[in-house]
Amino acid sequence: MKVLSGVPEAAAWVHAADRILVIGCSGGGKSTLSQAICARLDLPYVSMDREFYWLPGWVKRSRDEERGLIAAKVAEQRWLMDGSGQSSFDLRLPRTDLILWVRMPRWLCLWGAISRAVMGYGKTRPEMAAGCPERIDAEFLRYIWNFERRTVPKILAGLAQHGPDVPVLQLKSRGEMRQLLDLLGRPA
């Protein structure tokens, strides 16, 4: 994994990138950051949840269809893709110029997911598929709680296997996220 030294270096990479992957735990702020970057750089925003994973009513799309949609999207010239699914790293990482890894403490991810669910309960977020209203359950909270222990090793293995030369910036605080956005300038 090629780790960038800090936010100022990463801002230069973001400006030059045509294809950015934003990964991290649910509730950490991936989608908010992704949409803010897209507004600043006029990059097409791709929500993996909305465009690939879910059908109305929280029905999971078939794996073959999902992979076909992802393969078609990553072939495009410019995009910012918001989603951590390691099962498609083989498709996404070879086409990715830069990875922004939102790696917030789990308490902050839990807080983000719970507050989002409370404030938006029953409504569908723009980054979700139509007919998938906000919800939260014990399984989702366990996923967040165990993300570092269970999911991060899979992410690291996927990065090593499919994108060892793709530069990665780990954003570990809201302050670093704000600093990056400040360095990118105002929305277009």
**Domain map (residue ranges) of the chain:** 2-184
Vertex 49: Cα angle to 158 and 47 (nearest 5) = 85
Rounded CA-CA distance 124/131 in Å is 7
Poorest-confidence range of 16-20, 22-26, 134-138?
Answer: 134-138
Q: Phi, psi at residue 184, to the nearest 5°?
A: -80, -15
DSSP 127: T
Which residues, other chains included, contact 113 with Cβ-Cβ below 8 Å and sequence gap of 6+? Answer: 26, 27, 136, 140, 141, 144
CA 28 to chain centre: 9
Give pLDDT, residue 161. Answer: 97
Per cent of the chain over pLDDT 70 is: 100
> What does the radius of gyration of the chain's CA atoms come to, in whole angstroms?
16
Q: Which pLDDT band holds residue 121 (cuts at 50, 70, 90)?
A: confident
pTM for the predicted model, two decimal places: 0.95
How far apart, in Å, do the first and last CA atoms of the chain sit?
A: 32
Q: Is the model's pLDDT at 188 over the cut of 80?
A: no
Q: Which CATH architecture has domain 2-184?
A: 3-Layer(aba) Sandwich (3.40)
β-pairing verdict for 98-102 and 167-171: parallel
